[in-house]
Structure 1
Amino acid sequence: MREMLSTTTPLTERMTLFWHNHFTSSQQKVRSIQLMAHQNSLFRQQASGNFGTLLHAIGRDPAMLLYLDNSSNRKGAPNENFAREVMELFTLGEGHYEEQDVKEAARALTGWSVERDTGEFRIRPAAHDTGSKTVLGVSGNLDGDAMFDILLAQPACAEYLVAKLWREFISPTPDPREVRRIAGQLRDSHYDIKTALRELFLAPAFWEVNNRATLVKSPVELVVGTLRQFRFSYDDPLPFTFAIGQLGQNLFNPPNVKGWPGGDAWINSTTLLAREAVLERLFRATERPAARAQVMMQDGAKLPGQQALGREGKIQFANAVTRIGFDAHAWLAEFGSDDALVPDLRQRLAIQRAVLAREPSAPTNAALHGSAYLRSLVMDPVYQLK
């Protein structure tokens, strides 16, 4: 959370989170924060690097091997979990492989394991199946690396990845023709992720007005985006970590191997109210610290999937809340407005364009002074969209 809030390379952090939700692992099953941190570092190193390199590395990642049970995958008793998810969720998508391909891929991954004492990746030769295997029509004494190369060679792999990036950055409905075009560029670049991102960000669809406000902000995007855009001051990111957890995105603990479903699934009658409550509490940073702490302390009671804060944790949480600040005067000054004044029409429209992806869902009160007008925009449901 601190890295996302302070980084000078936000796209790197955005892509690190994207890969965390693509190559999903969970702390609840892995039970080693060191291995999860190592995996997170891998995602950051290859955030916009090379997908092929990342795929091969994730095949040797201890957290992934533990999460998808490949540490127990051995000759004569293959475990198909990792092989299946590599095809279905990581590279090809449903409909581009057969059940027999999964079985053969699992054999290729036998013996790829984890040293329990050190948490290091180990290939156990005695557990590896050296017999001939056939994956997607390619036969031979395949190991995990050879199997990954077969997957990367499939046109469906690049198209699957580009479509997922499209849903992350442009709209919920990828354009098949554009996906094929960009996927071709991705394959020609030998899976250079920057190439795909550049093509996506320069595509007309990325700038199309009709694609604005078609995607729902994830809890991380909502909270981190708000804190960065409005330049909130803080000492400790603990309250923000609790906030996104309560909104359903407990980092390092996605719900299952498919990750957070995202999109419209982020919003329902309960979560919308919770999101608005988080924003309301954040923008109370102009109130007295003691009152702010009392209001937000309920956020520190318990993080989903975690134990309740002890006395010291509650004190840390309360102290952190009192140090959250928002300088409305300085932020509004960039638009020629002021916290104590009612902005004119030009100023209101400029602030609105900076805050919302499209027109607000309800008319705003033109008589509101600067910070009140700003809060009315942030509390509008359109603020939940990107």
Structure 2
Amino acid sequence: MPAFTPDRFKMMAAMLLCLMAGTVSAQQLDEADARFFLMRTGFAPDRDEVARYSHLSRRQAVEQVLAETRSTAATAVPGWIDEQPISSLNSKDKSDDEKKALREQEQRRAFELRGWWLREMLSTTTPLTERMTLFWHNHFTSSQQKVRSIQLMAHQNSLFRQQASGNFGTLLHAIGRDPAMLLYLDNSSNRKGAPNENFAREVMELFTLGEGHYEEQDVKEAARALTGWSVERDTGEFRIRPAAHDTGSKTVLGVSGNLDGDAMFDILLAQPACAEYLVAKLWREFISPTPDPREVRRIAGQLRDSHYDIKTALRELFLAPAFWEVNNRATLVKSPVELVVGTLRQFRFSYDDPLPFTFAIGQLGQNLFNPPNVKGWPGGDAWINSTTLLAREAVLERLFRATERPAARAQVMMQDGAKLPGQQALGREGKIQFANAVTRIGFDAHAWLAEFGSDDALVPDLRQRLAIQRAVLAREPSAPTNAALHGSAYLRSLVMDPVYQLK
């Protein structure tokens, strides 16, 4: 009999873990599992989406959702996206009136772009694609308020979607050449002899390594490597300006040479801390607020071995036992985008124009293309406090007022929307468009409840109430529900329960 050595013990333990993982991934999804999986990897699913995933094994479900991701939007982009970006890049010679007109045009287009992205989220057949596009938007943060070119922000959004589940290394290198990012973090003015450290600092602290994995001197040297990486003012295109680039020797994280931006990014990607930082952030996005250090190291190792293939990390995260752990369910707070988009998708709201939803999401603190600072939206529990919870409930209440007079509903939403900065840029026609769009938002409670054998005007029986509750809430409601409520009133009571804010 072979000696029982420590190495043999490790080998046997690894084999046991593999067998356990195989057993876990083969487990079949019931409706509750499918709904949970689709909620975590996308937006709140409707019954058709749940039916497609019910009775698949966990591995089959994961492979299916990963296989369906795409790299381009299905919704046609606004026609002005490929116009020359002039609002902030080359408007110095414009008159004050011309500059004002350009600012108002930029605001109108910003509303249009947010509406376009929301329409893509609402109609997409691959919600994980849009979730990951949003994830990268909040990871590689930049803001239209500072960039001041909505075309450049639109191109950046396309980049995030292109690599949504592609390759992190490819995405990092592309971000180094992204005009919106270079403008946002001031690298367009980074030149030999007067290096600007903003981009170099954030690429280490927020994009790749996290605090504590680099020294101040590494930031200074990385900034030198990025000198000359700039933006052409006339066209908004990326340019390397040789005369502004520092060609001297630099040392970043112990690696020396005549480094440029690409060489510096490769040094960062080679650090074990880079993969671990990224996996921990994805863990907080999809599993729980507290990453498991051992699992993070394991998945990070596979991410590095795959040369930063994002699907490799997502597959391991979605198949991890912790992802399916009952105690990790209903522990993540829905972002404003997830709350509004998920509600509209799950309950099959009808609408003509997503413009009102852009205001609703902005009111809740997630103004797309305008994160609050370079760290992005903090997310998690930070989405919820006594004020924001009331605001969330108010938005949900307005959405479900399908039986109110349209004019009254429009007036209420217009009053609330007016609190948002920049609404004046909509102009008179835009405000009319907004009001008309609100009147066309509808919810067919009778049709939705009929899927559970219930009816809008009738009191659902116990079986129906439980089925509706399981479809709406991630766990038991925080307060007992009134069994005497008729269908739509019972449904609204569930949506207003604080548990509805969780996933």
TM-score normalised by length of structure 2: 0.76
CA distance in 1 between partners of 2:130 and 2:416 (Å): 25
Q: Does 1:113 align with 2:230?
A: yes
CA distance in 2 between partners of 1:274 and 1:167 (Å): 24
CA distance in 1 between partners of 2:430 and 2:148 (Å): 22
The alpha carbon displacement at 1:336 in A equals: 1.4
Deviations 1:312-331 (A, max 9, x none): 22211110011001111111
| Structure-2 residue corresponding to 1:159 | 276
Find the residue that maps to 1:74 and give its secondary structure: coil
The alpha carbon displacement at 1:96 in A equals: 0.4
Find the residue that maps to 2:424 and give its secondary structure: coil
Deviations 1:245-301 (A, max 9, x none): 111111111100000111111111111111100000000023332232233222331
CA distance in 1 between partners of 2:365 and 2:421 (Å): 8
Q: CA RMSD in A?
A: 1.1
CA distance in 1 between partners of 2:424 and 2:378 (Å): 25
The alpha carbon displacement at 1:98 in A equals: 0.5
Deviations 1:186-226 (A, max 9, x none): 11111111111111111111111111111111110110110
CA distance 1:307–1:314, shift in 2 (3 Å): closer
Deviations 1:71-127 (A, max 9, x none): 010111110000000000000000000001001100100000000110000000011
Q: CA contact under 8 A between 1:301 and 1:308: conserved in structure 2?
A: no
Q: CA contact under 8 A between 1:16 and 1:47: conserved in structure 2?
A: yes
Number of residues paired by the alignment?
386
Q: CA contact under 8 A between 1:300 and 1:309: conserved in structure 2?
A: no
CA distance in 2 between partners of 1:145 and 1:191 (Å): 16
**Greater C-alpha radius of gyration:** 2
CA distance in 2 between partners of 1:89 and 1:305 (Å): 29
Find the residue that maps to 2:390 and give its secondary structure: helix
CA distance in 2 between partners of 1:373 and 1:367 (Å): 8
Q: CA contact under 8 A between 1:337 and 1:343: conserved in structure 2?
A: yes
The alpha carbon displacement at 1:334 in A equals: 1.4
CA distance in 2 between partners of 1:156 and 1:224 (Å): 34
CA distance in 1 between partners of 2:164 and 2:337 (Å): 17
Q: CA contact under 8 A between 1:250 and 1:304: conserved in structure 2?
A: no
The alpha carbon displacement at 1:154 in A equals: 0.5
Match of 1:34 among 145, 151, 175: 151
Q: CA contact under 8 A between 1:300 and 1:317: conserved in structure 2?
A: no
CA distance in 2 between partners of 1:199 and 1:304 (Å): 42
Structure 1 residues 190-201: aligned runs within 5 Å: 190-201=307-318
CA distance 1:309–1:33, shift in 2 (3 Å): closer
Identity %: 100
The alpha carbon displacement at 1:353 in A equals: 1.0
CA distance 1:2–1:136, shift in 2 (3 Å): same
Q: CA contact under 8 A between 1:302 and 1:308: conserved in structure 2?
A: no
TM-score normalised by length of structure 1: 0.98
CA distance 1:247–1:4, shift in 2 (3 Å): same
CA distance in 1 between partners of 2:404 and 2:165 (Å): 41
CA distance in 2 between partners of 1:148 and 1:116 (Å): 25
CA distance in 1 between partners of 2:366 and 2:430 (Å): 21
CA distance in 2 between partners of 1:285 and 1:195 (Å): 43
Q: CA contact under 8 A between 1:183 and 1:196: conserved in structure 2?
A: yes
After TM superposition, what 4+ stretches of structure 1 lie above 3 angstroms from structure 2? 304-310
Bigger shift: residues 363-372 or 337-346: 337-346
Find the residue that maps to 1:284 and give its secondary structure: coil
CA distance 1:306–1:147, shift in 2 (3 Å): farther
Deviations 1:117-139 (A, max 9, x none): 10000000011111111111111
Q: CA contact under 8 A between 1:136 and 1:150: conserved in structure 2?
A: yes
Q: CA contact under 8 A between 2:417 and 2:423: conserved in structure 1?
A: no
Find the residue that maps to 1:239 and give its secondary structure: helix
Q: CA contact under 8 A between 1:232 and 1:327: conserved in structure 2?
A: yes
CA distance in 1 between partners of 2:331 and 2:450 (Å): 30
Bigger shift: residues 265-274 or 31-40: 265-274
Deviations 1:229-251 (A, max 9, x none): 11100000010000011111111
Q: CA contact under 8 A between 1:182 and 1:196: conserved in structure 2?
A: yes
